Chains A and B, each alone.
Chain A
Amino acid sequence: MKIIPKTYNEIIRLKQCYSLTDYFKDITEEMFQEIYDFLGQNQGNSIIATTEMLSLIDQSGNIVKTYPVTKANDDFDSLQITHNAISILPHYTSSYSNTYDGTSSNNNNNNNNNNNNS
């Protein structure tokens, strides 16, 4: 990594970006740099990540970019990086097995044109 932090804020941002590598297997150098730069552009910018998606969120709450990611451990459900802080939501273990989690196998009838399958 070619980033040499010069200010406290830069050190904090760099540490925040490194901490992402504790949670995700596939943070590339390119992603790392982009996240580092993005957080530095505005103090209101943030990162929100689930165990599958990592999004760059601007100060207005809009998603600027989303990366699919792969979790590196099972300890968390999501995390958020904001100016000077990281919040981590610990993994919640469901008390039952949800049988309706995307079990669908039919494409919807669509549009005002139909597509009902057998």
Chain B
Amino acid sequence: MTKFIHLLYVPTMNCNMQCKYCYLKENTTDLKQDDMYLKTLKYAVAKFKQADIVPFNISLHGGEVTTLSQKDFHDLIEYIYNYYQTNKDIITQNGFKLGTPHIKTNLLNIQKHLDTIKKFNVSISGSLDLPLSMHDKYRLTKGGGKTLKTILDNIKLLETIPNKKKVSATIFQEHFQKIDEIIKDIKYLDQNTCLDMNDFNFMIGFKTKDSPLTPLTEKNQVKFYQKMRKAFLNTNLDYGVRYKWFAEFTPAYCTNCDNCGEKFFLLERNGDIYSCVRGQKNKAFYYGNIYKDSVQTIMNNAKTKIYQIHNQLGFNRECASCQYLYLCKTGCPYVKKLYHQNKSYTCALQKQIYKDNEEYPKDINNDEDVYLYLNKNHPELAPTYYPKNQSQNSDIPSLETIINQDKKLKDIYSSDIFLLQIDDKTYKLQSQILKKQRDIVYITDKSKITLYIKKGVLENTDYPVNNSLYIMLLSGQLVVYGDEQRPKQRHIMTHQIYKDIVTKHQSDKPNYYQINITNLLKMYQDDYSKDKPNNLFFTTNALRDYHYLKQKNNAYYHIHAMNLPFQNIEFYYIKEDQS
């Protein structure tokens, strides 16, 4: 089956600016010129295609792509343009929007490539600091020169072309302190430039090494968002503030993936592949090299690395109940790892955005979605969150409902009346049909096996002396039984031990009677299945009788409890001669 990926391509690490908070730091110098700008992208796309992997989006990122020569820039853009034309059908037929060539740029040198941008309808995404007064403080040239005037002049040049052009700005505490200026500058850009400010984006900055800026607290993130809404709702920028400016936190973005390593990739000119811009040059997010590694290796590295990061950071129990996990998926693994935190660094902001947007209601299937998420990223926790009831819409009452309405049934299904100790490990036995998880143990002919039965269970009947512990042993081999010709596990034996015999033994657990069943199980050692787990059930004679009576009296119960409902454990029996 064809797999679709989002591919960011970094043809050059070179940048003509040295922004004070740039995450690439010293990596933005790339003086080496070669002929690999286009070759690497072509090579990667062909190699992916051979592995039946199709990029549905190829975007150019930096460094700064506009530092390429006019020819290299033109050839790259032309290639991407043609790529979309050639792959139009497969991309659109699989539900992806067909893009145009797209660049991320600091806009400082864009005039050099205007012809190519016009010719291939390149969409442009630029970066500014807001308020603009802070742009010249943080976004400087390598020589420390100011850049705002040139960039605004360049934006003016874009007026003549119809292409999509937008900007984005990253917000730290220092920006937030000048929020009124930000509002003023957004209005200025909207009224005085060709930028589509309804298609503008905010990003919430996070702490990186040596950054001079302070990340917003979660509380201030929400304050910032609310102030923006207050200023722009019901204005000509209503659409923007409502749907676009904070779109980074909606399901349209990569953080909505259970595992972004299955879909998002960043390719550098030297063939190195990383997760994305955030993970670029970070070993933990390095997936391999397209020239040196097989596509399978790169894909495997990607999904296992992201899985491991999410898994090892643990799961925040609050996320199981907030009902927005289906949207946020606990956030970006890069920032979670950076902050050593198990939920999104914008958690409060995201909750507020979802709350304000009717497109993102609270999850009515939260139990299921929490389980599905955990099963993918935290399988060690998934059993605890296994959804209770699959037949919510059914007219038939659930087994749990029927049990809750019948005192006697509660004992049949209780999870604390039987304990089984195998050597030094004790298992709390649960009803076969209620338990979420199958436990299969290995018993050897040297194992000591002790059953504990809770005091009062054998006595809870009209004539306790006639009651017995009821043990059923079934083989893993199947046989076809009875009138319904249903394949069932083959019965090996049924054994009853009457109450007065059970209760006479000394017990090392105060609330339980104790009985050693080692020899009982050994007696049938030649009858166990070696390939399939065997099955051992415990109940009492009185409870078993009541189960069948209930089956007779209540058809709904019968439907749920067609298989033996009693507490059980599955096992393999290992004999010495098997070695």
Interface set of A (CB-CB < 8 Å, partner B):
5-8, 10-12, 15-16, 48-50, 52-53, 55, 57, 61-63, 66-68, 77-78, 80, 84-90, 92-96, 98, 100-118
Contact = CB atoms under 8 A, between A and B. Distances in A.
A57 to B, nearest CB: 8
Contact of B441 (A11, A63, A84): A84
A104 B368 contact: no
Nearest to A61: B380
B382 interface: yes
Interface string B395-439: 000000000000000000000000000100100000000001111
A96 B123 contact: no
B375 A50 contact: yes
Contact of B168 (A5, A57, A116): A116
B201 A114 contact: yes
B37 interface: no
A93 to B, nearest CB: 7
Given A50-B376, A52-B303, A107 B277 contact: yes
B9 to A, nearest CB: 11
A111 B392 CA distance: 43
B387 A92 contact: yes
A118 B437 contact: no
21 contacts: A7-B579, A48-B380, A50-B379, A77-B375, A78-B375, A78-B379, A84-B425, A87-B439, A89-B379, A89-B438, A94-B372, A95-B393, A102-B256, A102-B259, A104-B256, A105-B6, A106-B6, A113-B19, A114-B170, A115-B104, A118-B123
A90 B288 CA distance: 35
A116 B425 contact: no
Interface of B: 6, 8, 19, 21-24, 56-57, 59, 61, 96-97, 99-100, 102, 104, 123, 125, 127, 164, 166, 168-170, 172, 199, 201, 203, 205-206, 208, 211, 213, 248, 251-259, 262-264, 276-278, 300, 303-304, 307-308, 311-312, 326-327, 332, 365, 368-369, 371-372, 375-376, 379-380, 382-383, 386-387, 390, 392-393, 422, 425, 436-442, 444, 446, 572, 574, 576, 578-579
Given A107-B6, A110-B278, A92 B390 contact: yes
A112 B201 contact: no
A19 to B, nearest CB: 8
B258 A102 contact: yes
Contacts of A118: 99-100, 102, 123, 125, 164, 166, 199
A92 B326 contact: no
Contact of B304 (A53, A85, A109): A53
From B257, B304, B444, residue with most partner A Cβ within 10 Å: B304
A16 B22 CA distance: 50
Contact of B263 (A10, A62, A94, A104): A104
Given A10-B579, A105-B96, A105-B97, A111 B208 contact: yes
A38 B113 CA distance: 57
Nearest to A67: B304
Given A11-B574, A102-B257, 10 more contacts: A49-B379, A52-B376, A63-B308, A77-B379, A95-B393, A102-B259, A105-B96, A107-B276, A108-B277, A110-B278
A112 B256 contact: no
Given A77-B375, A104-B252, A8 B382 contact: no
Given A100-B326, A115-B277, A6 B579 contact: yes
B125 A63 contact: no
B372 A113 contact: no
Contacts of A49: 379
A107 B441 CA distance: 46
Given A108-B278, A112-B213, A114-B168, A100 B256 contact: yes
A85 B99 CA distance: 52
Main secondary structure of the interface of B (DSSP, over half): mixed
Given A90-B438, A96-B365, A108-B248, A113 B23 contact: yes
Contact of A116 (B125, B263, B440): B125
B574 A15 contact: yes
A78 B381 CA distance: 11
A8 B447 CA distance: 10
B482 to A, nearest CB: 25
Contacts of B21: 112
B437 A100 contact: no
B311 A63 contact: yes
Given A77-B382, A88-B437, A106-B253, A98 B574 contact: no
Given A104-B255, A104-B256, A112 B375 contact: no
A48 B256 contact: no
Contacts of B8: 107, 115
B74 to A, nearest CB: 20
Nearest to B371: A92
A106 B19 contact: no
Contacts of B172: 112
A89 B574 contact: no
B307 A66 contact: yes
B227 to A, nearest CB: 20
Contact of A113 (B24, B57, B123, B379): B24
A108 B327 CA distance: 14
Contacts of A50: 375-376, 379
A100 B23 contact: no
A78 B384 CA distance: 13
B277 A89 contact: no
A118 B103 CA distance: 10
Nearest to B307: A53
Contacts of A109: 168, 201, 203, 248, 253
Given A50-B376, A85-B441, A106-B252, A96 B368 contact: yes
Contacts of B57: 105, 107, 117
Contacts of B169: 114
B177 to A, nearest CB: 17
